[in-house]
């Protein structure tokens, strides 16, 4: 028994020479019985593909074969042999053990459930082909994020999840409190931190402290927004990657953003696990062509003012007619990237009144050094800017935004002591995942999505 090698289905299916005496552990996807033997498809999540097991009647454990139904957990020992079917190998079983049965009430009996139904069984949906592929891809993409920054000597900073500052200034924050909302309210003095505390909407301000010490840094962590928008692109809890670079201007910021997206897209294109192919077949037929196009094209850079002019001159009937000074809506973003330029676009220099206090004021006094990266199928995937490094201008912006200067004295200190030009951006990790998989709803790339009135 000791010579039996435990392997994953992935290892077994991709090995070069037949492995003798292996053991796999997984869940039954399907079983077909004939008189003298049974076929079992076993999946253990290590790959999209399941392994076919051939079990002859009479081997140890076969007496419980009828209970090895879809969803049951099993251990199979046996020998890899060449398969006459599509796969290179199949497993000729020598011993079967049933670990856990899955009675008829198992909700994933048949294939082809709708994403809506699967959202009602979040705890089981990773067992489907689609969600297995999505969450393996999520893990691979997270590794690719770290690879990109590691290869450029960026330092990963763990910025806090509980914070006292509203980075985006939009007031869309969840409160963190130990007070009972039904009995006590209002007096933060008595609360856990002795002041009001929130879940972070962005690690940027803290990342700036570290950039102004360590040079190039990035954050990668959970982010929370209490915006009441029930769309397919907004979640209340999502993950964001925020690089912050000292001695960097808007152009340098755009260069890193473009390289970063291309690195992630190229990682996806190079995927040989079968997951990318699966998305191309069953989720979005145009996926590979679109990603290849993004990988090869130079991102168009277009000022906000030019973008407004382009849309005003176009014959399109927008729901919100474009006017200088307004924030771009998804319909505008998608027009620019999908219809007009047909390539990713970086829109920069937005009106200062629609952007947060920390962005650097341009010489025109009207616009700030903001930049948003827009991609086909999604719209905004990245938002960033060069930061205001001049103390007096920053303080003016903060006053205009109604911020309490004392609360942010640590932030303004960065400008008081050795200030430097610096810039950064935030990439929404789930928007990226939607982009590289073709999945249309943000709820389907989050393991346990949280959206307004939904925290299952």
* Contact between residue 161 and residue 221 where contact means Cβ atoms under 8 Å apart: yes
Q: How far is the CB of 351 from Mg ion (least distance, A)?
A: 14
Nearer to ligand 4AD, 52 or 385 (CB): 385
From Mg ion, ligand 4AD, none, interface partner of 425 (C-beta below 5 to 8 A by class) = ligand 4AD
Hey, what are 260's tokens?
């970063």
Q: Of the candidates 365, 311, 346, which has an alpha carbon nearest to the alpha carbon of residue 423?
A: 346
> Which listed range, 2-10, 155-163, 291-299, 383-391, lies at the site for ligand 4AD (CB under 6 A)?
383-391
The angle subtended at Cα 252 by Cα 238 and Cα 367, nearest 5°, is: 80
Q: How far is the CB of 383 from Mg ion (least distance, A)?
A: 3
Instruction: Determine the Cα–Cα distance for residues 397 and 275; give it in Å rounded to an integer.
Output: 47
Instruction: Determine the Cα–Cα distance for residues 113 and 444; give it in Å rounded to an integer.
Output: 13
For ligand 4AD, the binding residues in 156-175 under the rule CB under 6 A are 167-168
Q: How far is the CB of 441 from ligand 4AD (least distance, A)?
A: 12
Q: How far is the CB of 132 from ligand 4AD (least distance, A)?
A: 23
The crossing angle, in degrees rounded to 10, of helices 250-269 and 129-151 is 140
Q: How far is the CB of 274 from Mg ion (least distance, A)?
A: 34
Q: Single out the residue of 7, 202, 216, 397 in contact with ligand 4AD (rule: CB under 6 A).
A: 202
Q: Of the candidates 112, 148, 145, which has an alpha carbon nearest to the alpha carbon of residue 128?
A: 112
430 three-class SS: helix
Q: How far is the CB of 258 from ligand 4AD (least distance, A)?
A: 14
Q: Single out the residue of 71, 344, 384, 421 in contact with ligand 4AD (rule: CB under 6 A).
A: 384
For ligand 4AD, the binding residues in 233-272 under the rule CB under 6 A are 234-235, 238, 240, 242
* Contact between residue 240 and residue 429 where contact means Cβ atoms under 8 Å apart: yes
Task: State how far Cα 199 lies from the chain centre.
Answer: 19
Q: How far is the CB of 382 from Mg ion (least distance, A)?
A: 8
Q: Binding to ligand 4AD by residue 218, rule CB under 6 A?
A: no
Nearer to Mg ion, 229 or 296 (CB): 229
| H-run or E-run covering 382 | strand 379-386
* Contact between residue 87 and residue 13 where contact means Cβ atoms under 8 Å apart: yes
From Mg ion, ligand 4AD, none, interface partner of 332 (C-beta below 5 to 8 A by class) = none
From ligand 4AD, Mg ion, none, interface partner of 394 (C-beta below 5 to 8 A by class) = none
Q: Of the candidates 333, 408, 377, 339, which has an alpha carbon nearest to the alpha carbon of residue 164?
A: 408
Nearer to ligand 4AD, 27 or 429 (CB): 429
* Contact between residue 314 and residue 303 where contact means Cβ atoms under 8 Å apart: no
241 three-class SS: strand
Q: Of the candidates 453, 366, 427, 456, which has an alpha carbon nearest to the alpha carbon of residue 141?
A: 427
Binding marks (x or -) toward Mg ion, 366..395, rule CB under 5 A? -----------------x------------
From Mg ion, ligand 4AD, none, interface partner of 381 (C-beta below 5 to 8 A by class) = ligand 4AD
- CB-CB neighbours of 373 under 10 Å: 27
- Positive or negative, the CA dihedral 65, 71, 77, 82 is positive
Q: Within 13 Å and on the Cβ side, how many CA atoms surround 14?
A: 12
In the numeric block, the tokens 């969450």 are attached to 135
Which residues partner with 372 through β-bridges?
Answer: 347, 383
Size of the site for Mg ion (CB under 5 A): 1
Q: How far is the CB of 182 from ligand 4AD (least distance, A)?
A: 28
- CB-CB neighbours of 309 under 10 Å: 14
From ligand 4AD, Mg ion, none, interface partner of 302 (C-beta below 5 to 8 A by class) = none
From ligand 4AD, Mg ion, none, interface partner of 24 (C-beta below 5 to 8 A by class) = none
From ligand 4AD, Mg ion, none, interface partner of 167 (C-beta below 5 to 8 A by class) = ligand 4AD
Q: How far is the CB of 168 from Mg ion (least distance, A)?
A: 8
Q: How far is the CB of 374 from ligand 4AD (least distance, A)?
A: 9
Nearer to ligand 4AD, 135 or 239 (CB): 239
Tell me phi and psi for residue 74, to 5 degrees: -140, 160
Binding marks (x or -) toward ligand 4AD, 395..434, rule CB under 6 A? -----------------------------xxx-x-xx---
Q: Which residues bind ligand 4AD (CB under 6 A)?
A: 167-168, 202, 204, 225, 227, 234-235, 238, 240, 242, 380-385, 424-426, 428, 430-431, 442
Q: Which residues bind Mg ion (CB under 5 A)?
A: 383
């Amino acid at each position: 028994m000791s010579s039996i090698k435990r392997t994953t289905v992935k290892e077994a299916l991709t090995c070069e020479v037949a492995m003798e005496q292996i053991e796999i552990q997984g869940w039954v996807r399907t079983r077909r019985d004939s008189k003298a033997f049974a076929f079992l498809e076993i999946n253990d999540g290590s790959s999209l593909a399941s392994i076919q097991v051939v079990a002859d009647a009479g081997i140890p454990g076969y007496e419980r074969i009828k209970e090895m139904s879809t969803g049951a957990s099993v251990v199979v020992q046996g020998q890899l042999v060449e398969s006459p079917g599509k796969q290179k190998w199949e497993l000729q079983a020598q011993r079967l053990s049933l670990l856990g049965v899955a009675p008829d009430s198992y909700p994933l009996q048949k294939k082809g459930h709708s994403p809506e139904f699967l959202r009602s069984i979040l705890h089981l949906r990773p067992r489907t082909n689609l969600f297995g592929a999505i969450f393996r891809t999520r893990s691979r993409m997270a590794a690719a994020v770290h690879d990109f920054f590691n290869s450029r000597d960026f330092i990963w900073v763990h910025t806090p999840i509980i914070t006292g500052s509203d980075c985006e200034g939009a007031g869309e924050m969840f409160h963190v409190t130990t007070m009972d909302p039904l009995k006590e309210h209002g007096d933060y003095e008595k609360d856990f931190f002795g002041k009001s505390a929130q879940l972070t909407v962005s690690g940027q301000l803290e990342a700036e402290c570290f950039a102004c010490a360590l040079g190039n840094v990035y954050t990668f962590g959970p982010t929370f927004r209490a915006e009441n928008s029930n769309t397919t692109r907004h979640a209340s809890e999502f993950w964001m990657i925020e690089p912050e670079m000292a001695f960097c201007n808007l152009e340098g910021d755009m260069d890193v953003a473009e390289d970063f997206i291309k690195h992630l897209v190229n990682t996806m294109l190079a995927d040989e696990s079968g997951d990318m192919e699966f998305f191309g077949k069953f989720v979005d037929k145009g996926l590979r062509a679109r990603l290849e196009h993004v990988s090869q094209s130079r991102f168009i850079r277009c000022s906000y003012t030019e973008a407004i002019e382009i849309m005003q001159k176009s014959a399109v009937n927008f729901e919100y007619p474009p006017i200088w000074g307004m924030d771009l809506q998804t319909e505008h973003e998608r027009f620019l990237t999908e219809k007009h330029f047909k390539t990713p676009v970086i829109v920069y220099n937005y009106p200062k009144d629609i952007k947060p206090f920390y962005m650097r004021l341009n010489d025109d006094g009207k616009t700030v050094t903001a930049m948003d990266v827009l991609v086909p199928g999604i719209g905004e995937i990245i938002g960033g800017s060069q930061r205001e490094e001049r103390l007096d201008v920053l303080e003016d912006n903060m006053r205009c935004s109604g911020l309490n200067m004392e609360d942010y004295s640590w932030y303004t200190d960065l400008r008081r002591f050795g200030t430097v030009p610096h810039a950064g951006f935030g990439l929404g990790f789930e928007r990226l995942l939607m982009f590289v998989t073709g999945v249309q709803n943000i709820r389907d790339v989050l393991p346990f999505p949280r959206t307004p009135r939904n925290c299952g």
